[in-house]
Structure 1
Amino acid sequence: MDYRNKLLPMEKVFRDPVHNYVYVQNQVILDLINTKEFQRLRRIHQLGTTSLVFHGAEHTRFSHSLGCYEVARRICDSFERNYPSKTPGDGLWDNSERLVTLCAALLHDIGHGAYSHTFEHIFHTDHESYTEHIITDPETEVNQVLRRVSPKFPSEVASVISHKYPNPQVVQMISSQIDADRMDYLLRDSYYTGTNYGTFDLTRILRVMRPYKDGIAFSISGIHAVEDFIVSRFQMYLQVYFHPVSRSMEMILSHLLQRANEIYGDATNDNSKQRDFIPYFLMPFFNHNATVADYLRLDDGVLNTYFQQWEDDKDPVLNDLSNRFLNRIPLKSVRFTRETEYLLPELRSLIEKAGFNSTYYTAINNSYDLPYDAYDPSTTKPRTQIELMQHDGSLVELSTVSALVAAITGRVSGDERFFFPKKMLSEDDSELFHPIYKEFQSYIKNGILLDAKGGQR
């Protein structure tokens, strides 16, 4: 039997707290799981700094990737059983697409790096681009496994993740507004954070999913399960993903990496600034010549080890930020609006007077998300809308028949915050600092930045 269709002698399972079991039947899937690039995902947290708020959130990109694969496998099984293609072009499921779908689901996050989103911001990397590179680079074990299927198979898998694959059913199964990725991470993140916001009826969603010519739709009888999914995602963003303390720790991490980048960049250009400790795995990123191999050497543990070294660094900012990150000393924050934004320079000035470098001890962060976005072709990256299939086979867009979804469609959730040292809220009575603290605090009430008239506007 050729490698594409080779099954394991006996089905292998991974015990999983979300799906109970993850079932692996294909040899190629097991071989991909055993590659060093995929095993690296065990060492990368799924939610980055969120574990510093929800202490149970220690799960990894590895477990999420297995979960995404498992959801995609169940969808393929359902489509094969209930909607098999009978004639070419009939819009039903062609099961020859199964393996490329499962591989793309398993590998969709293979390019995530150490504290990925924060790291990307500082070093201008892109996990989606790295995902494609890892899949298509002949030097990776992942690529070597995929090439056993066929020489062009790595490119096919990568094209699913980049949304260029010609079959929209396969693409939407992995990336859409209800896909295997989102279904797993909502349930998994909800479980590990100890919250219930992300729970929804996965079994019902999978039952009402069905293929059609232009992608994937949902039987209209399952509209309430779809509504529940949209609301669950909405709640998870507000209550978990946008948590201000998690964002605060991201800001500290960002400034810590920024400071390290500046220090070692200076040392590279000026021999008089050479340092005793060299973070070798980060140097390619400081020097802007990193390769895929350099990227794959990094994980959360590598960065944390460097942060521990920097706790004793002679640079006071690098030293302090490392301590703040490792020992969870978050910045405080205040919400602001366009009307109160003009006050931020004044707040930064007061923070400078209190002895803090505002470059490293203040930050602006906005976290916004659309809980559901009806298709708009004029946008840069239009989202695939959720289609419901009626009993006569016609399609309707979700928000046109759901008052609940219509109420939140296009409504941005989230806020914009200004971060600053907790000491600025001190009630210290010393003559030197008390006036500064008092003036700073006069602009803030209940975590909201007030305008000159004392209102939020």
Structure 2
Amino acid sequence: MAYKDEQLIEEKVFKDPVHRYIHVRDRAVWDLIATPEFQRLRRIKQLGTTNLTFHGAEHSRFNHSLGVYEIVRRITNNFADRERWNREQRLLCLCAALLHDLGHGPFSHSFEKVFKLDHEQFTQKIILGDTKVNQILKKVSADFPEKVADVIAKTYSDKLVVSLISSQIDADRMDYLQRDAYFTGVSYGHFDMERILRVMRPMDDQVVIKSTGMHAVEDYIMSRYQMYWQVYFHPVTRSAEVILSKIFQRAKVLYEDDSYQFQLEPTHFISFFEEKVKLSDYLKLDDMIVYYYFQQWQEEKDDILADLCYRFINRHLFKYVEYNPDPQINAGMELYQLFKKAGINPEYYLVVDSSSDLPYDFYRPGEEEERLPIHLLMPDGGLKELSRHSDIVEAISGKKRTDHKLYFPKDRIQAIEDTDLKKRILDILYGKE
């Protein structure tokens, strides 16, 4: 029997708090899970610094990746006898779902921003590079790694396959919303996934939803909206992310300063600081490695690096106020100078952080990013774009919400001995001018 068709003698299952059980029967999937590159995801938290806000958010990218695989497995089973579904794509869908987050680094998006990296590019490098994952995928067929990488890059020729992994209603989002809600303990991310899976239908270039399932999709979209603003963009989590990014920024500055000698050399980060990141270096990094450096760097001679690491390790985070960069630009500039006068380096201790989200949108010609809308399959066989049929979705379509916060160490401001200077800083921050 060809490797691509090989099944395990006995089905393997993972007990899962979200999907109850995750089922594996394909030999290729089972072998991929056992690779070092996939096992590394056990050591990378799904939600980065969110556990400093919601203490239960300790789940990993490994959990999530298995969850996305399980949802796609159920979808492809449901599609098995449908006219517009190509059964030959099943294993490709399962492998792409399993491996879609393979390239995430420690603390995920914060880490990417600091070093200008893209986890999807690293996912493709792992799939196509000299790795165990690549060896297993090649056993399916010589061009199978390229196919999996193309699905993740959204360049694969069969857009239906891509839409299962990446669209406005895909297996990735359906898993992380429920999983993140479960582990953070909030109620926002829950929706009727079983109903959505039952009303999904394969079309030529995307998955569509039977019109009878519209209300379940509305619930899903509102769940996503709430999760972003109540969990993912929580200001305390963002405070931790600000400090995390400033630690790396400071460490890079010190590395580039030939006169500074680290007590613990940043060996694991050198290729990142030099912007010559090798795949082997990338794969050595996980949350545990980063925590080790931060723990040790609390003892560094550089006061800024030591202080920032202490804050991160011990959850001694920055405070924040609402801040609108345009009308408050003069106040921001004055604060910058006042911080310098007070001996508080504003490059590291006065930070504007912005978050924005677009909960749902439809394609608008001429836009940079093409968003494939969610289509409803009507009783007459025609398709109707979701916001044209749902008043709830229409109300939020295309409405991008942006939020700005100004972060600062209130304890350091309170410690300023010049009372007039301290009062002026606090008056500006808290709008008492």
* Pairwise TM-score range, normalised by the shorter structure: over 0.9
Q: Determine the C-alpha separation between the residues in 1 that align with 2:11 and 2:282.
A: 33
The separation in 2 between residues aligned to 1:256 and 1:156, in whole angstroms, is 38
Secondary structure of 2:406's counterpart equals strand
Per-residue CA deviations over 1:297-333 (Å, capped at 9, x if unaligned) read 0001001101111010011111101101111111111
The corresponding residue for 2:401 is 413
1:58-137 to 2 correspondence within 5 Å? 58-81=58-81, 83=82, 85=83, 92-137=84-129
Backbone CA RMSD of aligned residues: 1.5
* Structure 1 SS opposite 2:140: coil
CA-CA distance at 1:185 after TM superposition:
0.1
Q: Identity, % of aligned pairs?
A: 50
Describe how 1:144-155 pairs up with structure 2 within 5 A.
Answer: 144-155=135-146
Which residue pairs with 1:208 in the alignment?
A: 199
Distance 2:80 2:234 in 1: 41
Alignment of 1:274-353 (within 5 A): 274-337=261-324, 338-353=326-341
Deviation digits for residues 338-367 of structure 1, max 9, x if unmatched?
222331111222223333100111111110
- Other-structure match for 1:433: 418
Quote the residue 1:172 is aligned against.
163
Farther off after superposition, 218-227 or 332-341: 332-341
Q: In the alignment, is the contact (CA less than 8 A) between 1:238 and 1:414 conserved in 2?
A: no
Contact 2:76 2:90 in 1 (8 A): yes
- Contact persistence 1:113–1:298 (CA under 8 A): yes
Alignment partner of 2:389 out of 379, 401, 421: 401
Which secondary structure state, in structure 1, belongs to the residue aligned with residue 54 of structure 2?
Answer: coil
The answer for the alignment partner of 2:363 in structure 1 is 375
Does 1:238 pair with 2:238? no
Deviation of the 1:141 alpha carbon: 0.5
1:61-96 Cα distance to aligned partner (Å, 9 max, x none): 000000000011011011114x2x3xxxxxx11111
Task: Give the distance between the partners of 2:212 and 2:391, measured in 1 at CA.
Answer: 16
Alpha-carbon distance in structure 2 between the residues aligned to 1:62 and 1:158: 19
- CA distance in 1 between counterparts of 2:261 and 2:423 reads 42
Check conservation: 2:358, 2:401, Cα contact below 8 A. yes
The one-letter code matched in structure 1 to 2:353 is: N
Shift of residue 444, structure 1, vs aligned partner? 4.2
The count of corresponding residues between Structure 1 and Structure 2 is 432
CA contact (8 A) 1:242 1:414 kept: no
Q: What are the ranges of 5 or more consecutive residues in structure 2 without an aligned counterpart? A: none
The CA distance in 2 between the partners of 1:176 and 1:199, in whole Å, is 19
Q: Distance in 2 between matches of 1:418 and 1:179?
A: 34
**Greater Cα shift, 309-318 or 348-357:** 348-357
Q: Tell me how far apart the structure 1 counterparts of residues 128 and 400 of structure 2 sit (CA, whole Å).
A: 36
Gaps (5+ residues) in structure 1? 86-91
SS of equivalent residue, structure 1 residue 182: helix
Cα 1:48–1:114 shift into 2, 3 Å: same
Q: 3-state SS of the aligned residue for 1:376? A: coil
TM-score (norm 2): 0.97
Kindly indicate whether the alpha-carbon contact (under 8 Å) linking 2:263 and 2:300 is maintained by their aligned counterparts in 1: no
Q: In the alignment, is the contact (CA less than 8 A) between 1:351 and 1:424 conserved in 2?
A: no
**Cα distance in 2 for residues equivalent to 1:60 and 1:442:** 42
Which residue does the alignment assign to 1:22?
Answer: 22
The structural deviation recorded for 1:276 is 4.1
Contact residue 424 and residue 440 of structure 1 kept, 8 A? no
Cα distance in 2 for partners of 1:350, 1:274 equals 30
Q: Secondary structure at the match of 1:364?
A: strand
Contact 1:400 1:406 (8 Å CA) reproduced: yes
Moved over 6 A (4+): none
The 2-side partners of 1:207 and 1:62 are apart by 26
The whole-number CA distance in structure 2 between the counterparts of 1:181 and 1:151 is 27
Contact 1:68 1:106 in 2 (8 A): yes
Cα-to-partner distance string for 1:147-177 (whole Å, 9 max, x where unaligned): 0001100000000011111111100000000
SS at match of 1:359: helix
Q: CA deviation at 1:282?
A: 1.4
Give the distance between the partners of 2:111 and 2:35, measured in 1 at CA: 24
Amino acid in structure 1 at the alignment position of 2:288: G
Give the alignment's TM-score, normalised by structure 1. Answer: 0.92
Secondary structure of 2:67 counterpart: helix
One of 214, 218, 235 as aligned partner of 2:209: 218
Deviates more, 1:39-48 or 1:435-444: 435-444
Indicate whether 1:156 and 2:143 are aligned.
no
